[in-house]
Structure 1
Amino acid sequence: MSPAAGRNDPAPADPAAARGASRRAQSDIYRAGISGTRTRVPVDPTTLEDAARRALSAEAFAYIAGGAGAEATMASNRAAFDEWQVWPRPLRDVSQRDLSIELLGRRRPTPLLLAPLGVMEMAHPDADLAVARAAAAAGVPYTLSNQASFAMERIADAAPDGARLFQLYWSASDELNASLLRRAEASGCEAIVVTLDTHLLGWRTRDLDLAYLPFTRGMGIAQYTSDPVFQQLVRERVRTPAASGDASTTVRITPKAIAAGVTIARKGGALTGAGLRESLRSPLPRAAVETFLDVFSTPAVTWDDLARAREWTSLPIILKGIVHPDDAARAMDAGADGVWVSNHGGRQIDRSVPTLAVLPEIADRVAGRIPVIFDSGVRGGADVFVALALGASAVAIGRPYAYGLGVAGEDGVREVLRNIVAELDITLGLAGHTRVDDLGRDALRAARR
């Protein structure tokens, strides 16, 4: 799975500019404070989460913040960072520091990526458009979610100079998978991130207690409703409803049911081009939701199926959801261009292995042959430092940027990224290091209990 020649390649971001911005961040915050101006979003990660809880609806916060089961995996992801301590080395010249890394054939100004987060319209109406603009301004590649609130083409138009990847949830329809990857390539994405750990939807207790799944309201399916293959699947479903296996479930008419119906109808405009009144009368919007629920994923996908992805795209392919060294080795054998160590932020399996605990083993097995991207449990720049020292090539941020989006829109995402980069830069210097590329396990000490 070799990288393809880029199309509509974004201009490389300036690492020096990123370094300067991170070093100004702390000073700018304190200087603004003289006139009584504070940051748009809290800097402390816990306070940021609390601010998002207040800003978002109960359903939105539960969907973004929640995890599987009793959320033991989420807790373990964070606790795994407590097993490591930064080991400072003073009296070294750290006046010049370099946060840049090489990833997918390009020099990036920081080691950060934005992980794919779906249904960001739950956090802010501008959703993925705001995130894309903020990521582009920071020089951080943005992984577009397969469950985005806007079509990938619109996201690309919102931030044409931004670096982006596309996440694929392996659909039950190969024709749809192929169509999505063709569109991603045409939209200037640099790589495809195949998510492996969502072939079944996790047992997400917060969402279940609220009986709320945004997709059933027509949210987070813009990549699908904008796709010609999916549109054809919907039209076929409307023509032959009996064959589709639709259940004739009676929905009790309540204000919430009416509001959900209006939301679904609005989303149906992407299929019909009609206004709200016409969409309310049309069977297409509801059929789109049912079609999505049918084709979203397949539990039958195996390693052998992955070879088909190379037939659908010439872009590099990264496999996301790797948590076992043997699977990292198998990914390399299969020709993957990168592995993404992730347990979906603890959203899929309760009591799963924390990703940081297995990162060193996976990094050792990969041995630098392909990039190792890491996520799950990352909340600040010191966390990024630890992950890089344990072998990550790049580190992906998830919930923190969603919280920033919910609190202050695009500006909130910008500030979250600024804060993480600034803390990483300061941690790097205070620990006695000048290049994130040079970080190794000697920069850390195992915590002794």
Structure 2
Amino acid sequence: MLARLHEEARRALDPVHHDYYAGGVGAEVVLAENEAAFARLALLPRVLRGSSRRDLAVDLPGGRSAAPVVVSPTAFHRLAHPDGEVATARAAAAAGAVLITGVASTTAVDEVVAGARSVASHPAVWFQLYLDPAPGVTDSLVGRAEDAGCGALVVTVDSPVFGRHTRDAANGFHDLPAGLAAANMRDLPGGPPGGTRDIGMSADQSWDDLRRVVERTDLPVWVKGVLHPADAAEAVAVGAAGVVVSNHGGRQFDVVPAAVDALPAVVDAVAGRVPVLLDGGVHGGGDVALALALGARAVGVGRPVLWGLAAAGEAGVRQVLDSLVDEFDHALALCGGQRPSDLTRDMVVRRGAFG
């Protein structure tokens, strides 16, 4: 079903915008590896221990999700559909899924939250941001997320500089069409009145900058873009409420490992002190089950949501989420599980290496 929606999205999208969503950096090795790494893994089911009444819900710092599938932050949803992030928010809320919106949204965070609340009374919407080097910008963004009613912050830390996107360079795609902008970057300190600032990144940012965000807010702070286990431990030390293992969907650095290959070492380094999410390469319920068995509390999905949005708007996003959850529930039943925590690392083997 996800492959069909992707094809429908490809036909609906401007080819340049499809490439923006679909592409990665360099030769797109990591982009392909994120999926290929899952294909190298298999599950060893347990038998005679399951139940016909399964509970898929997971509690996360910042909100409860009806299943261990979270909508990852992705940019510029109004390139995919006129309703943009509001359609995504409504679909996520209807599915009971945590939605992570962010600074590169073409809809302001308060409108995204309002869209989710039009469907559910207490939706879980989190806000993703970067550690902006300009004075006051990060604080302002945090304040906007708090005022909008977001349940958590997600600080992306794997972007000291922008990734060099091969397809965008070839297509000459370097700015949004007229009428679209990164709405959360509007009216910020140092920016033009009524206008938007560029999203700021800096190689000078440090753990002290992250610590200041943690100390500045009462919201739980997730750290996204962690691959090295020592960084996971450092994130916990500065007060992170959770860690997201991610290589930015293959959009930052083409020589890093697949996200799922980095997951077990990060889980070991965190040692249960905070939950770990996995983002990157998840395209089916079996992938969800594998990530959870390796220690993730939940997974994030990005591009499949965009394909659903481009293909059929809000209904398409809902199809993506419902399909992933249904497939995961089926996989959990086949593994003899009653709840996500029943999936354990001893159930994961590498194909061709078992026995």
User: What interval of TM-score do these two structures reach, taking the shorter chain for normalisation?
Assistant: over 0.9
* Structure 2 residue 307 is the aligned partner of structure 1 residue 403: yes
Asked if the contact 2:131/2:209 (under 8 Å) is kept, the reply is no
Distance 1:106 1:404, change over 3 A: closer
Deviation of 1:106 (Å): 4.9
Distance of aligned partners of 1:219 and 1:172 in 2 relative to their CA distance in 1, 3 Å threshold: farther
**1:198 paired to 2:102:** no
* Residue in 1 that maps onto 2:230: 326
Residues 1:105 and 1:170: Cα distance change in structure 2 (over 3 Å): closer
> Hey, what does 1:132 align to over in structure 2?
89
CA deviation string 1:162-181 (max 9, x = no partner): 21100012222231111110
What is residue 59 of structure 1 aligned with on the other side?
A: 16
- Tell me if 1:234 matches 2:196: no
Structure 1 distance, partners of 2:62, 2:251, is: 31
2:95 matched to 1:95? Answer: no
SS of residue paired to 1:345: helix
Do the aligned residues in 1 keep the contact of 2:58 with 2:64 (CA within 8 Å)?
yes
1:241 maps to which residue? Answer: none
Match of 2:320 in 1: 416
* Residue in structure 2 matching 1:184, options 119, 128, 145: 145
Which residue does the alignment assign to 2:330?
Answer: 426
Q: Aligned to 1:70, which of 23, 27, 38?
A: 27
User: In 1, Cα distance between the equivalents of 2:292 and 2:128?
Assistant: 23
Partner in structure 2 of residue 253 of structure 1: none
Distance 2:183 2:240 in 1: 28
1:213 offset after TM fit, Å?
Answer: 2.2
Q: Give the conservation status (yes or no) of the 8 Å contact 2:62–2:152.
A: no
Conserved 8 A contact 2:245-2:263? yes
Tell me the equivalent position of 1:118: 75
The letter of the residue matching 1:203 is R
Shift of 1:182: 0.7
Give the drift of 1:443: 2.4
Q: Which moved more, 1:427-436 or 1:83-92?
A: 83-92
Q: In 2, are the aligned partners of 1:338 and 1:372 still within 8 Å (CA)?
A: yes
| 1:316 alignment partner in structure 2 | 220
Q: Is the 8 A contact 2:64 2:124 kept in 1?
A: no
Matched residues in 1 for 2:177 and 2:239: separation?
A: 36
Q: Which amino acid aligns with 2:101?
A: L
In the alignment, what sits opposite 1:167?
128
How far apart are the structure 2 equivalents of 1:178 and 1:191? 14
> Is residue 296 of structure 1 aligned with residue 200 of structure 2?
yes
CA contact (8 A) 2:62 2:151 kept: no
Letter in 1 for 2:191: L
Query: TM-score, with normalisation over the residues of structure 2?
Result: 0.94
Cα 1:398–1:434 shift into 2, 3 Å: same
Give the aligned residue type for 2:309: L
Corresponding residue number in structure 1 for 2:345: 441
1:336, distance to aligned residue in structure 2 (A): 1.1
Match of 2:182 in 1: 221
Cα distance per residue 1:222-258 (max 9 Å; x no partner): 0012x4x34x5214xxxxxxxxxxxxxxxxxxxxxxx
What CA RMSD, in Å, does the superposition of the two structures yield over aligned residues? Answer: 1.7
Tell me if the contact between 1:100 and 1:437 (Cα under 8 Å) persists in the aligned partners: no
Residue of structure 2 aligned with 1:157, choices 110, 114, 134: 114
Q: Deviations over 1:392-429 (max 9, x none)?
A: 01111110010000000000000100000000001111
Equivalent residue of 1:174, what SS?
A: coil
1:277 corresponds in structure 2 to none
**Residue in 2 that maps onto 1:148:** 105
State whether residues 44 and 335 of structure 2, in contact with CA within 8 Å, keep that contact through their aligned partners in structure 1: yes
Rounded Cα–Cα distance in structure 2 between residues aligned with 1:376 and 1:359: 11
Query: Does structure 2 retain, via aligned residues, the 8 Å contact 1:322–1:340?
Result: yes
Larger Rg: 1
Deviation for aligned residue 1:101: 1.4
The answer (yes or no) to whether the contact 1:119–1:214 under 8 Å persists in 2 is no
Q: Residues 314-350 of structure 1, C-alpha deviation per residue, up to 9 Å, x if partnerless?
A: 2111110000101001111111111110000001111
| Amino acid in the other structure paired with 1:365 | A
Distance (Å, rounded) in 1 between the aligned partners of 2:202 and 2:273? 30
What residue number does 2:256 align with? 352
SS in 1 for 2:253: coil
Q: Is the 8 A contact 1:49 1:403 kept in 2?
A: yes
SS at match of 1:396: strand
Paired residue type of 1:380: G
Spell out the pairing of 1:375-414 with structure 2 (5 A cutoff).
375-414=279-318
